[in-house]
């Protein structure tokens, strides 16, 4: 099975450097909508095989990003609140350098394993990882039960969540890589789920997948 994490397309908050993490969030820009169309067009040649399931968060930008891909393959995206962006708490919609540093450094601590750390005014790493791993576990196992071990499951999510989930799920991605080379808008991360891997709980997913690509490039190229 393949698990594909897709970062949403460009928004005005991205271009302004604003920490937009609450529902419904700002929509895609014109460029973001074009990125979403290009994602659907390049999917099989550059990303992965045809998707069997597409999951999105409840934020507008993930729904809009997924729409062209879902249309291309005749799918209806599944909405799951567990894969929403990591909440920025006290620095929501801030765009100053200090707020950005607070947000990024907290996530860096989470990716390094300090899950007890809490975003000021927001969630802890443990809380964020529990909700997101729970979503991946339930959706992925459901897809495998319906479509078999060759299923392709797509999660259209958010940049910070992609970093946290990737370091938790993959046995070959670390905090240094994911926090140095951020995933671009509509960039993808493809991970391999072994045919005999069937964790009974969401916690069992940790370290159980193997990343094939990071931001549309083979993982090995990032260390070259």
Q: Residues, the chain, total?
A: 224
Helix/strand/coil (H/E/C) assignment for every residue in the chain: CEEEEEECCCEHHHHHCCCCCCCCCCCECHHHHHHHHHHHHHHHHHHCCCCCEEEECCCHHHHHHHHHHHHHHCCCCEECHHHCCCCCHHHCCCCCHHHHHHHHHHHHHHHCCCCCCECCCCCEHHHHHHHHHHHHHHHHHHHHHHHCCCCEEEEEECHHHHHHHHHHHECCCCHHHHCCCCCCCCCEEEEECCCCCCCCCHHHHCCCEEECEECCEEHHHHHC
Q: Distance between CA 208 and CA 193 in Å, rounded?
A: 7
Question: pLDDT, tens digit, for every residue of 31-45?
Answer: 999 999 999 999 999
How many Cα atoms within 13 Å fall on the side-chain side of residue 177? 21
| Residue pointed to by tokens 């999917």 | 43
**Domain annotation for the chain: domains and CATH numbers:** 2-223 (3.40.50.1240)
The ranges of the chain with pLDDT < 50 are none
What does the pLDDT read at residue 223?
Answer: 74
pLDDT of residue 61: 98
The β-bridge relationship of strands 78-79 and 53-56 is parallel
């Amino acid at each position: 099975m393949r698990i594909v994490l897709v970062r949403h397309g460009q928004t005005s908050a991205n271009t302004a450097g604003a920490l937009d993490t609450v529902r419904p969030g700002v929509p895609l820009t014109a460029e973001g909508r074009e990125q979403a169309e290009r994602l659907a067009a390049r999917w099989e040649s550059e990303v992965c095989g045809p998707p069997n399931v597409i999951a999105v968060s409840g934020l507008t930008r993930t729904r809009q990003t997924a729409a062209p891909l879902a249309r291309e393959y005749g799918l209806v995206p599944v909405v799951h609140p567990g894969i929403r962006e990591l909440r920025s708490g006290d620095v929501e919609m801030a765009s100053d350098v200090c707020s950005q540093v607070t947000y990024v450094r907290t996530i860096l601590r989470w990716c390094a394993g300090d899950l007890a750390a809490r975003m000021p005014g927001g969630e802890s790493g443990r809380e964020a990882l529990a909700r997101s791993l729970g979503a991946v576990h339930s959706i992925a196992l459901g897809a495998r039960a319906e479509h078999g071990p060759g299923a392709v499951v797509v999660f259209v999510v958010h940049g910070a969540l992609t970093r946290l989930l990737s370091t938790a799920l993959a046995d070959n991605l670390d905090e240094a890589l994911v926090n140095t080379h951020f995933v671009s808008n509509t960039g993808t991360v493809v991970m391999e789920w072994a045919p005999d891997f069937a964790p009974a709980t969401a916690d069992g997913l940790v370290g159980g997948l193997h990343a094939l690509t990071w931001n549309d490039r083979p993982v090995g190229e990032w260390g070259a």
